[in-house]
Structure 1
Amino acid sequence: MPAITDYYGISGAVPFVDVEITADNRLYVDPHAIRLSKGPQPFAAEAVECSDTFLQEVTACVINGPAFHRRGEDLLQHFVEPWETRLGMSEEGFHGHGGAAIVGQWIWKTLTDDVEALVRVGVLRQLEDLPLFVDGIDRDITSDLTTRIVFHPLARFTAAMVAAYPEFTAGEHVVKVFRKQVWNPELREWDEVEIALPVADGKPLLLVPKGWARPTLLMSAGRFYETSVLSFAQLEQAVLSSRGKLLKTPKDELKKQAGLGRGRATNLRVTKRAFDSEQDLLAVFKSFVASRLKRADSDGEAAA
Structure 2
Amino acid sequence: MPTITEYYGISEPVPFVNVEVTADNRLYVDPHAIRLRKSGQPFADLALLCLDTFTQEVTDSILQGTPASLRRGEQILQRFVEPWETRLGMSRRGFHGHGGGDIVGTWIWGVLTDDVEALVRIGVLKQIEDLPLFVDGVDRDITSDITTRIVFDALVKFTAQMLVQYPEFTGGDHQVGTFTKQIWSTDALDWVDVEVTLPVADGKALLLVPTGWARPTLLMSAGRYYGTSVLTFAQLEQAVVGSDGKLIKTPKDRLKKQTGLGRGRNTNLAVTMKAFEKGEDLLAAFKAFVHGRLDKSEPEDKAA
After TM superposition, the runs of 4+ consecutive aligned structure 1 residues lying more than 6 A away are none
- Equivalent residue letter for 2:110: K
Provide the residue aligned with 2:302 in structure 1: none
1:165 counterpart residue number: 166
In structure 1, distance between residues paired with 2:297 and 2:218? 20
Distance 1:26 1:138, change over 3 A: same
Q: Which residue identity does 2:216 align to in structure 1?
A: P
2:180 is matched with which residue?
A: 179
Aligned counterparts of 1:237 and 1:180: Cα–Cα separation in 2: 53
Paired position in structure 2 for 1:131: 132
Alpha-carbon spacing, 1:65–1:150, altered in 2? closer, same or farther (3 Å): same
Cα distance, 1:172 vs structure 2:
0.7
Secondary structure of residue in 2 paired with 1:209: coil
In structure 2, how many angstroms separate the alpha carbons of the residues matched to 1:244 and 1:216?
41
TM-superposed deviation, 1:299: 8.8
Of 93-102 and 160-169, deviating more is 93-102
Corresponding residue for residue 14 of structure 2: 14
- Which consecutive unaligned segments of at least 5 residues does structure 1 have? none
Equivalent position SS for 1:244 = coil
Aligned pairs for 1:183-198 within 5 A = 183-198=184-199
Contact map agreement 2:61 2:70 (CA 8 A) in 1: yes
Distance 2:187 2:240 in 1: 52
Q: Secondary structure of 2:224's match?
A: helix
Verify: 1:97 aligned to 2:98, yes or no: yes
Aligned partner of 1:153 in structure 2 is: 154
Q: Does 1:23 align with 2:14?
A: no
Match of 1:108 in 2: 109
* 1:141-184 Cα distance to aligned partner (Å, 9 max, x none): 00000000000100100000010001000011011111100000
Give, in angstroms, the shift of residue 241 of structure 1. Answer: 0.5
- Give the letter for the 1:3 counterpart: T
> Cα distance, 1:39 vs. partner?
4.6
What is the CA–CA distance in structure 2 between the aligned matches of 1:40 and 1:140, rounded to whole Å?
A: 26
- Determine whether 1:33 maps to 2:33: yes
Q: Distance in 2 between matches of 1:204 and 1:40?
A: 27
Query: Which residue is 1:212 aligned to?
Result: 213
Distance 1:131 1:12 in 2: 34
Identify unmatched segments of 5+ residues in structure 2. 300-304
Cα separation, 1, equivalents of 2:102 and 2:2: 33
Query: C-alpha separation between the residues in 2 aligned to 1:290 and 1:222?
Result: 17
Q: Deviations over 1:204-239 (max 9, x none)?
A: 000001100000000000100000000001011011
Distance in 1 between the 2:95 and 2:40 partners? 28
CA, structure 1 residues 168+182, in 2 after alignment: closer, same or farther (shift >3 Å)? same
Identity of paired residues, percent? Answer: 69
Residue identity in the other structure for 1:112: T
Per-residue CA deviations over 1:228-262 (Å, capped at 9, x if unaligned) read 00000101101101111101100000000010001
- Given that 1:106 and 1:134 are in contact with CA atoms closer than 8 Å, whether structure 2 keeps it comes out as no
Q: Report the AA paired with residue 297 of structure 1.
A: K
* Superposed displacement of residue 298, structure 1: 6.7
The residue correspondences of 1:237-256 to structure 2 (distance < 5 A) are 237-256=238-257
Q: Is the 8 A contact 2:41 2:210 kept in 1?
A: no
Q: Is the 8 A contact 1:239 1:248 kept in 2?
A: yes
> Residue 56 of structure 1 corresponds to which residue in structure 2?
56
Q: Which whole-Å CA distance do the structure 1 matches of 2:38 and 2:72 have between them?
A: 34
Instruction: Kindly state the Cα deviation for residue 24 of structure 1 after the two structures are TM-superposed.
Output: 0.2
Give per-residue Cα distances to partners, 1:43-66, cap 9 Å, x unaligned: 000000000000000000000014
TM-score by length of 1: 0.96
**What is the rounded CA distance, in whole Å, between the counterparts of 1:39 and 1:15 in structure 2?**
14
Question: Structure 2: how far apart are the matches of 1:194 and 1:103?
Answer: 26
Cα displacement (A) at 1:41: 4.2
Alpha-carbon shift at residue 106 of structure 1 (Å): 1.7
Question: What residue is the counterpart of 1:297 in the other structure?
Answer: 296
Tell me the number of residue pairs that the alignment of Structure 1 and Structure 2 aligns: 298
CA distance in 2: counterparts of 1:253 and 1:156, whole angstroms: 50
Counterpart in 2 of 1:75?
76
* 1:114 shift after superposition: 1.2
Q: Answer yes or no: is 1:119 the counterpart of 2:130.
A: no
Q: In the alignment, is the contact (CA less than 8 A) between 1:149 and 1:182 conserved in 2?
A: yes
Partner of 2:47: 47
Distance 1:163 1:282 in 2: 41
More divergent stretch after superposition (101-110 vs 34-43): 34-43
Instruction: Report the CA distance between 1:38 and its aligned residue.
Output: 3.7
Given the superposition, is the C-alpha separation of residues 239 and 58 from structure 1 closer, same or farther in structure 2, using an over 3 Å criterion? same
Q: Partner letter of residue 178 of structure 2?
A: V
